[in-house]
Amino acid sequence: MDLLDRQDVLLLNELQRDARQTVQQLAAAVGLSSTPCWRRIKELEAAGVIRGYTALVDRAKVNLQLCVLAEINLSRHQEGEVQRFEAAVAQSPQIVACWSTTGQADYVIKVLVPDIQAYEHFLHETAFRLPGVTHVRSSVVMKEVKSETRLPIELPARGAALGKPKKG
């Protein structure tokens, strides 16, 4: 199994901090020269460790002030119904995250909309119409205390490495 070493972890943390840096800036930050740094980035991309690059947008500045976490229960857990539900969720732009969970809910979704009226419309026109949905419990987010996109990748101990999937 291929492993993430100290330089890989430093590079991933640096890219998570600011992915718009040049290869030269990244190389300097992680203690490599440009060519090996560029090669590592390409290897991390090819292995799927780096899935892509994106811009972080302030949701309030694009009129998405209301954030709702909704717990969803399905009537049945047959494979076809679950697949139809998950495909419909993937097609809904207001649903920005979805997790299959244990506990009281089968799924938890994160919904971003402009206001409570838009959420009510979303409930009636989208959520209640998702395949197999029997119950939706909504929690309106009053204040976002922390919303981090960076993964907490820690440096391995000297001589150790973190596992990463094999290429292939």
Spatial neighbors of 24 by CB under 8 A, at least 6 apart, are 34
Q: pLDDT, tens digit, for every residue of 1-16?
A: 268 999 999 999 999 9
Three-class SS of residue 153? Answer: coil
Q: Work out the average pLDDT over 55-83.
A: 95
Rounded Cα gap, residues 76 and 133, in angstroms: 9
| pLDDT higher than threshold 80 for residue 41 | yes
The crossing angle, in degrees rounded to 10, of helices 23-30 and 6-17 is: 130
- pTM (two decimals): 0.84
Three-class SS of residue 119? Answer: helix
In our burial notation (b when 16+ CB lie closer than 10 A, e otherwise), range 25-43 reads: ebbebbebeeeebeebbee
Confidence class for position 18, pLDDT limits 50, 70, 90 = very high
